[in-house]
Amino acid sequence: MPKRTTHEESSCPVARPLDVVGDGWTLLIVRDAFDGLRRFGQFQKSLGLAKNILSARLANLVANGVFELAPAADGSPYQEYVLTEKGRALFPVITALRQWGDRWFFTEGEPRARLVDRESGEPIAPMRVRAADGRVLGPEDATVLLP
């Protein structure tokens, strides 16, 4: 995690979240949670990261309200990491990132995991930035208003 010293810490809604999810592992942990993973060992096996790192990341995510600890649903004497509302609200972020990766990091026809609508089995729609009236906006069509 970088050490933001300037005005960055304060008023920009992009900078603050990056203190929580701005490293290479955290969003993968959350993605795995969307895929149904809940237990320490599941995350560790899925991601192959060192246990101390996972431990630190999970603790940080709990401290920041992305996960909460709950007694294991299956009766085992352990605890589970379950996404909070705040954590589930990362779904658009991870999906946008996934679509970017899908478009720009795979060659035509290269096999990849696909996210589909569970109901229809169809791929989900590409996410776009839209104005209040529904017009699709590019980076040039939007501007930041400082507080």
Site for its own copies in 70-129 (CB under 8 A): 83, 86, 88-106, 111-120, 122-125, 127-129
**Residue from the set 56, 59, 70, 137 that interacts with its own copies by CB under 8 A:** 137
Query: Which tokens go with 84?
Result: 């909070």
User: Distance between CA 147 and CA 142 in Å, rounded?
Assistant: 16
Name every residue whose Cβ is closer than 8 Å to that of residue 115 and which is 6 or more positions away in sequence: 95, 98, 123, 124
Cβ 47 to DNA shortest distance, Å: 10
| Residue 73: closest CA among 82, 65, 84, 85 | 82
- Window 33-52: residues binding DNA (CB under 7 A): 39-42, 49-52
Residue ranges binding DNA (CB under 7 A)? 1-3, 5, 23, 25, 39-42, 49-53, 55-56, 58-59, 72, 76-79
